[in-house]
Amino acid sequence: MPCPSFRAIFIGLFLCLSFSVQANPALKTGVYVREGGSGTLTLKAGEKGELAFSLDAIGVNAHTCSLEGKIRNGKALMKDDLDGGTCTVTFTPHKNGIEVEGKDEDSGYESGACRYYCGMRASFGGRYLTPPPGCAPAETRRAQQDFQRFYDAKAYRKALATLKPVLDKCRSVLDELYEEGRIRNDLAVTCRKLGDYRACYAMLEPYAEDAAQKDEDVWTYSHAPAERETYLSTLAAARVNLMLCEQAEKAARRKKNH
């Protein structure tokens, strides 16, 4: 049986190494957003090949997590200053972002020392996505500010063109409760101003069923107060906007018939 040539061995090793590099991409600096918009992870270049990170996340009832430190070999060791324990935070790169996982040195879960950095009903683990172009937190904030400026100037087409891409492209990194509802209501008002009543209804379609019911039938007091208050506020705005859209559409039809 012939022995494999040196060249064949070299090529085989090269392919294995290439596959390994592709399967385990390096962590990259930048801003990442937790899937669903409930957290932000920022990685910056540090000293001696380290990465500096900061992470903020929001959980149930608006409880939050906040932590920052240095990443070495894909991990950050976070100390619990109260009990002296250690939380190991692992950062695993993926094609579309970074998986973050916290483990207490004793329990092996995101508990114990990891809880030192969070409120009672919040956690920081999960998939943090690379935002689509135009969807980083600073970009969506700027789009909303520009929208308001155009809207106040009654430049409704510019306002719509500025904010609608945020809803169309950024859903994966928008917080459905705290962000999407506000954006949908803003877009619905703008569509009504432009006389596009079908688009006005479409923007608010996710809330139409709940808007037809009483608040107490939609979101009971068994739910977390912060989420309940936020959703009912969004729903109240949707009710008003649906009514105004319907009234404007009827007025436009009457005017057309006369």
Q: Which residue has the tokens 């979101």?
A: 219
Residue 208: pLDDT over 90: yes
What ranges make up the beta strands (E) of the chain? 30-34, 39-45, 51-58, 64-71, 75-79, 86-94, 97-104, 126-129
Mean pLDDT of 79-103: 92
Which pLDDT band holds residue 110 (cuts at 50, 70, 90)? confident
CA–CA gap between residue 78 and residue 68 (Å, rounded): 8
Dihedral sign from CA coordinates of 121, 125, 129, 131: positive
pLDDT value at residue 50: 86
> Which of the 8 DSSP states describes residue 58?
E
Task: Evaluate whether 57 touches 124 at the Cβ level (below 8 Å).
Answer: yes
**So what's the pLDDT on residue 10?**
42
Contact 218, 209 (CB under 8 A): no
- Please give the pLDDT value at position 1: 43
Residue 4 has pLDDT above 90, yes or no: no
56 forms beta bridges with 40, 66
Q: Which of the two residues, 197 and 81, has the higher pLDDT score?
A: 197
- Taking the CB of residue 251, how many other CB atoms lie within 10 A of it? 10
Residues 235/207, Cβ–Cβ less than 8 Å: yes
Whole-number pLDDT of residue 58: 95
Kind of pairing, strands 126-129 and 51-58? unpaired
Neighbouring C-beta atoms of residue 102, cutoff 10 Å = 25
Between 5 and 75, residue with greater pLDDT? 75
Query: End-to-end alpha-carbon separation of the chain, Å?
Result: 95
Residues in CB range of 129: below 8 A, 6 or more apart = 32, 33, 34, 35, 96, 97, 172, 173
Look at residue 156 in the predicted model and tell me its pLDDT.
99
How big is the CA angle at 130 (ends 140 and 181), to the nearest 5 degrees?
Answer: 40
Pairing relationship of beta strands 97-104 and 51-58 according to DSSP bridges = unpaired
Distance of CA 45 to the CA centre of its chain: 23
| Length of the chain counted residue by residue | 258
Residue among 58, 64, 116 at smallest CA distance from 87: 116
Residue-averaged pLDDT of the chain: 88
- For the chain, state the CA radius of gyration: 25
Sheet containing strand 126-129, edge to edge, reads 64-71, 51-58, 39-45, 30-34, 126-129, 97-104, 86-94, 75-79
Q: What 8-state DSSP symbol labels residue 106?
A: T
Tell me, what's the pLDDT at 27?
Answer: 94
